[in-house]
Structure 1
Amino acid sequence: MMKNSTYLSICIPAFGRLEYIINTLASIYKDAEDQTIPLADFEVIVSDNDPDKELEKLKELFPYQNFKYFNTDCEGFMNSFYALTYAEGSFLKLHNSQEIFKKGSLRVLLSLVKEYMKDKNALFFSGGLLKKGKTFTAGSFDEFIQKTSYLSSWSNAFGIWKEDFDAVKDRIDLNKLFPHTSLLFTQNNKRKYIVNDSSLFSTQFVSKRGGHNKFQAFTIEFPSILDMAVIDGDITALTKRNVIRQLMNEFLPSLFFNVKIAKRETYDDEGFKENLKRHFPKGAYYKIVLLSLFAPANIIWRKIRIKFLK
């Protein structure tokens, strides 16, 4: 396959969870078959940073000409960056290993890539989580962050044109927890930002997820990226405050419920209360704890709403 002969690279960073990745890959290839999409139009890349190489057997399970497996020597979320480096398509989309392709999703992705190949407008796939259920646009990076809020940090929504990636990959400092977000914030001068909020994927539930301090990620690391964007003039202070408010009112209560109350996830929360003092308003911790009591209803409603999105 010649370089850049494909439209879309689906880049999957992975560590273990073989059964989930098998389901995800199977959904991609089934969708391609059902929609009669040529394999030459896309490629699928798995970047495995597990030294034990358990996922290497995927090469035998998916013996397609457009499937590529790499064992990568890197730690944690930096694998998201390395997964992109192996790609040869015109547009590089990060994809979480537990996200199943719904029927017709691959065609939607390819259609948008083909539509915007000339102008190279930014493409973002929010999966119905923004409550729109359709494609909409933003005319500036600040407006894009206003409209996507903390979801701008979701790796599964992220994509970048290969020529843009190649232009910045060797000259930016990557946040080790949010390397893809570091890349996203380099794309601050696009003429237009295209956000597809249709429900393209369904999530495989992974019990007892954990392995890092997710509370610190969203109280220190991600807000610090926003801070730098304000300093650089890429977003306004008002936009940052709105994102912080939504983190406090929506995301962090749900995280607190899953980890501390329901114990469905095992993320480390060390320093959470103290860390909130850096970017969040006074009393944020107690508000988050209170709002976490309503998290189950909000989670159920979100799943129902996404299920009925087209």
Structure 2
Amino acid sequence: MKPLVSICIPTYNRVEQLKITMESIMAQPEFREGKVEIVISDNASDDDTEQMGRQYAGQSDHIVYFRNEQNVRDRNFPLALSRGTGILRKLNNDTLCLNKDTLRLLCNLAEEYQESRPCIFLSNGQGKGQSREHFSFRDFVVTEGHYVTWIGGFTIWEDDCAALEKDTAGCELSLWQVRKIYETAYRKNDIVVCNQRIGRSLSPAKKDVSYGLYQVFYVNYMKLLEPYEQNQALSAEDMEIIQKNLLINFFTEWMINWELSMTDAQYSATENLKELVSKQYRDKPYWKEYQKLYRRRYHFMKMVNKLMEIKNFICRK
């Protein structure tokens, strides 16, 4: 029988995190019952990913492993989804460890919406309203904002996967999942946002953001929204709301981490994130008020960071 759900995992050189992610899925009854399959799409890793992937695939008929001949970068997202066979297919970060009831949620969504097949997005607890909400295209874009960039929230129905491996527009912007979900949401104009927490992210040894956070999450992201402003699906006021939310809810944390060197992230050597964000937003009417917010968050995160250093020092004693 065709599985209800395919968990499609594009991966590259994260064998330790992938193993934990896999175990969190395999432990759930819906996987053991054959309702859920796992698809590993290995982007030509040079660690032990291939050995582990083939070992898992040999242990279960509900796990399939594919290895790309070369690293195709973001094109691995549509590839992973095209390799699934489930009615509903979910992209899953190789660092996303799923909660114990997440497969049941996904199977329920697949069964409940199998006839109408709306666009489904998993916000992982970001929503402040009901556990499940229906949106029009405009309300979805404005409400969810930059959260749609998270690949772990992306789902697609099998009948939207025709020739998906060739559907690579947006990969050059490092935002294929955003282009695809907006395209699908606009066409259907019926989006179900599930606010239930579905999992927790495992920290990779070194998070690489050297591609440029401002370039991808402002320049490229806004470029994908432009056609919807041009066809009046989004208004100029909507675009301003999206930009403001991006500043407050996305760039603030990254800029503070960058200033305090609080993370192991590998930032771009040429992109001065704070300078670029300041240049883009400093003429906005809310900029002065935002600077006060930034300073409060900066000092709070600096204090938290110091307390963590003290705690770690005591624990090493």
- Could you say which TM-score interval applies, normalised by the shorter chain? 0.7 to 0.9
Shift of 1:199: 1.0
In the alignment, the residues of structure 1 paired with residue 112 and residue 217 of structure 2 have an alpha-carbon distance, to the nearest angstrom, of 34
Shift of 1:169: 6.2
Aligned twin of 2:207: 209
Aligned twin of 1:308: none
Aligned twin of 2:137: 141
Opposite residue 282 of structure 1, the aligned amino acid is: D
Shift of 1:182: 1.3
In the alignment, the residues of structure 1 paired with residue 45 and residue 105 of structure 2 have an alpha-carbon distance, to the nearest angstrom, of 35
How many residues matched? 293
Aligned twin of 1:117: 114
Shift of 1:223: 1.3
Query: Are the structure 2 counterparts of residues 229 and 49 from structure 1 closer, same or farther at C-alpha, using a change threshold of 3 Å?
Result: same
Query: Are the structure 2 counterparts of residues 229 and 204 from structure 1 closer, same or farther at C-alpha, using a change threshold of 3 Å?
Result: same
| CA offset digits 1:231-265 (Å, max 9, x no partner) | 23333332221111011112101111223313402
- Of 46, 51, 54 in structure 1, the residue corresponding to residue 48 of structure 2 is 54
1:232 aligns with 2:231: yes
Aligned twin of 2:311: none
Aligned twin of 2:271: 270
Aligned twin of 1:13: 10
Aligned twin of 1:126: 123
- Of 181, 189, 192 in structure 1, the residue corresponding to residue 190 of structure 2 is 192
1:154 aligns with 2:167: no
Shift of 1:135: 1.1
Query: Are the structure 2 counterparts of residues 278 and 108 from structure 1 closer, same or farther at C-alpha, using a change threshold of 3 Å?
Result: same
- Mean Cα deviation higher: 20-29 or 273-282: 273-282
In the alignment, the residues of structure 2 paired with residue 297 and residue 120 of structure 1 have an alpha-carbon distance, to the nearest angstrom, of 44
Tell me the SS of whatever aligns to 1:282: coil
Aligned twin of 1:96: 93
| CA offset digits 1:149-185 (Å, max 9, x no partner) | 1112211111111212327764672242011111112
| CA offset digits 1:11-46 (Å, max 9, x no partner) | 1111111110000000001023xx68512x121111
Aligned twin of 1:221: 220
In the alignment, the residues of structure 2 paired with residue 289 and residue 259 of structure 1 have an alpha-carbon distance, to the nearest angstrom, of 18
Unaligned runs of 5+ in 1: 301-310
Query: Are the structure 2 counterparts of residues 290 and 103 from structure 1 closer, same or farther at C-alpha, using a change threshold of 3 Å?
Result: same
Aligned twin of 1:294: 297
Would you tell me which structure has more helix in proportion to its own residues? 2
Unaligned runs of 5+ in 2: 305-317
Aligned twin of 1:64: 60
Aligned twin of 1:260: 259
Shift of 1:88: 1.4
In the alignment, the residues of structure 1 paired with residue 229 and residue 10 of structure 2 have an alpha-carbon distance, to the nearest angstrom, of 30
In the alignment, the residues of structure 2 paired with residue 165 and residue 218 of structure 1 have an alpha-carbon distance, to the nearest angstrom, of 26
Asked if structure 1 preserves the Cα contact closer than 8 Å seen for 2:14 and 2:204, the reply is no
In the alignment, the residues of structure 2 paired with residue 52 and residue 289 of structure 1 have an alpha-carbon distance, to the nearest angstrom, of 46
Shift of 1:289: 9.7
Shift of 1:219: 1.9
Aligned twin of 1:173: 169
Q: Who wins on radius of gyration, i.e. which is larger?
A: 2
In the alignment, the residues of structure 1 paired with residue 250 and residue 179 of structure 2 have an alpha-carbon distance, to the nearest angstrom, of 20
Asked if structure 1 preserves the Cα contact closer than 8 Å seen for 2:9 and 2:39, the reply is yes
Opposite residue 107 of structure 1, the aligned amino acid is: R
Shift of 1:208: 3.4
In the alignment, the residues of structure 1 paired with residue 295 and residue 222 of structure 2 have an alpha-carbon distance, to the nearest angstrom, of 21
| TM, length-normalised to structure 2 | 0.82
Tell me the SS of whatever aligns to 1:294: helix
- Mean Cα deviation higher: 185-194 or 155-164: 185-194
Shift of 1:285: 8.7
1:44 aligns with 2:38: yes
In the alignment, the residues of structure 2 paired with residue 30 and residue 38 of structure 1 have an alpha-carbon distance, to the nearest angstrom, of 11
Query: Are the structure 2 counterparts of residues 21 and 46 from structure 1 closer, same or farther at C-alpha, using a change threshold of 3 Å?
Result: same
Opposite residue 219 of structure 1, the aligned amino acid is: Y
